[in-house]
Structure 1
Amino acid sequence: MTAQKVLVTGATGFVGEALVFRLLLGKRFVPVAATRSVTRCQGLCPVTNFNLSGPLLLPELHGASVVVHTAARVHVMKEAASDALAEYRKANVAGTLELARHAAKSGVKRFIFLSTIKVNGEATVKGRPFKADDVPSPIDPYAISKFEAEEGLKKLAAETDMEVVIIRPPLIYGPGVKANFLSILQWLARGVPLPFGSIYNQRSLVSIENLLDLIITCIDHPAAANQTFLVSDGADLSTTQLLRYLAGALGVKARLVAIPEWLILLAGTMLRKQSVASRICSSLQVDIAKNREILNWTPVMNVGTSMRRTAEFFMINHVKAL
């Protein structure tokens, strides 16, 4: 069987780079890393120049049957742009759709778009998870841009022979994770007391291993064509449970102080960190039953194993710097 050529955008990012390395295993796929900067994939697989915005640079797609688009303008903690939505739209909508049109004209058969659960909304009522086919309710500029890209891709799929698959992950973690999740690991490793000892929300997460497995399933599964999927580890955790899981994986005691949720939310408002406080305390659950029904897909790695691998990587690569 001839190996499929799969172009992966964002090949220097957390998901894109991990996907390229996973595709290199076995003989089913020939990954092509599309990136605007030097990548660790250099010398291991073909590399093509790609820039999502400023100015847009489209990749070479000759022979590629699938594009997995992980590149995006992601959350900017200290937004400098006067019109944040316009900036997100340049990359995540205009750039994505230009890439997709280029892919369709180049004969690409399937375009897999890594979106975000934030397209569904910011929070759920406990016990009432988001479903893949719920009416979208994006709120912030990032989520709105991802939703608009999804709509544009669906329209393109209806007008061309190229199939589109949309995947909306919640918080992604795993070996090499950065941003807020890395900060949490650092706080726990240092023994910093955290005021999150009595938070009883429920949040879905997805390990990089489970996300990659779903993406690879969607590369060539016939039933994935023109579908939208949510993804998670299949086990929801409260913020308090998550911190205890990670502390146990690190081999340290979680120093959690039981502060009432209302007080955390009040402090968030006073410090102008309402969105951060809300994410800490609110629930965000996803229903992945559709994946099992349509793709016969279930998570390949449980939460405990995923947390342990994340912690082990952190201990090897970051503890000396603490």
Structure 2
Amino acid sequence: MNPAATMAARRFSVAPMMDWTDRHCRSFHRLLTRHSLLYTEMITTGAVLHGDRRRLLRFDPDEHPVALQLGGSDPRDLAESARIAQDFGYDEVNLNVGCPSDRVQDGRFGACLMAEPRLVGDCVAAMKRAVSIPVTVKCRIGIDDQDPEVALDAITTAVKDAGVDALIVHARKAWLKGLSPRENRDVPPLDYDRVYRLKAAHPHLHISINGGIGSVEAAQAHLQHVDGVMMGRAAYQEPWRLLAVDPQLFGAVPSFAGPRQALEAFFPYVERELAEGTRLHAMTRHVLGLFRSVPGARAFRRHIAVHAVKPDAGIAVLRDALAHLVDTAASMPHTAAA
């Protein structure tokens, strides 16, 4: 996919999420939205350079446009990893400057890099020299006691000067001292206005907003102020929401009339993967929230939870799970919990 098409897809993206957005998840999400940009989980440069690349980096061609998110802080390693990503066919490479986990801090990458804007700029510049695909950065508005007005301006200036193609801002601080990674997703308050001000100050830089965005309608509101929206947990936990992305944000025809048809369209992928030795549970765990508000959704989830983990589990588990749903499952879910 050419860079212009990737830029257009950046209007809406599904966030990179560790242990969630693997290739099975992305293949499923691609059925729900044809036009948005999908991201891998964060993969460290060490894993890319020295690990099993085929296992770590493989993706289905139907996933395009898809971006690889890298974790690292050595410009040379990032440049080589970006080159490998391009050779694998990724449409974008993204540098993580927002993850607050202890493991990431120990490796001197992720959110702790908010304190080293010059280094981040050097990393982006090295990656830009190495590849022709877009190079982007995902960051926070600050860490710990940093002033978000100063910290976010510093990181933005550094990556902009280095030629970054887009900046995705999680609109809350990361507290590296005192909060767990899970708490860092919810406890620090959201400051959307700070990201809006950043966009106003850099009108020619593509800026996307991330953090606490729970609906396509909320995404539409943010798009009045920024260029793109990245949705995380809501897209994963309630994937039916992605069916509204193409018609509401891209002016395109929806892929399917409802979640039942989308899941049935996932069956061929599941069968191919089963034939290659993939366990059913590795794929079905990503579909559990698809019918969250549809009558019969609890029975659907329970059936998968009980049967998909069995060693001989096959596509019949999904077919039988669908039988627990009433006919109205073809329609879009409501927002009430099932």
Structure-1-length-normalised TM-score: 0.37
Q: Which has the higher contact order (CA 8 A, sep 6+)?
A: 1
The structure with the largest helix share of the pair is: 2
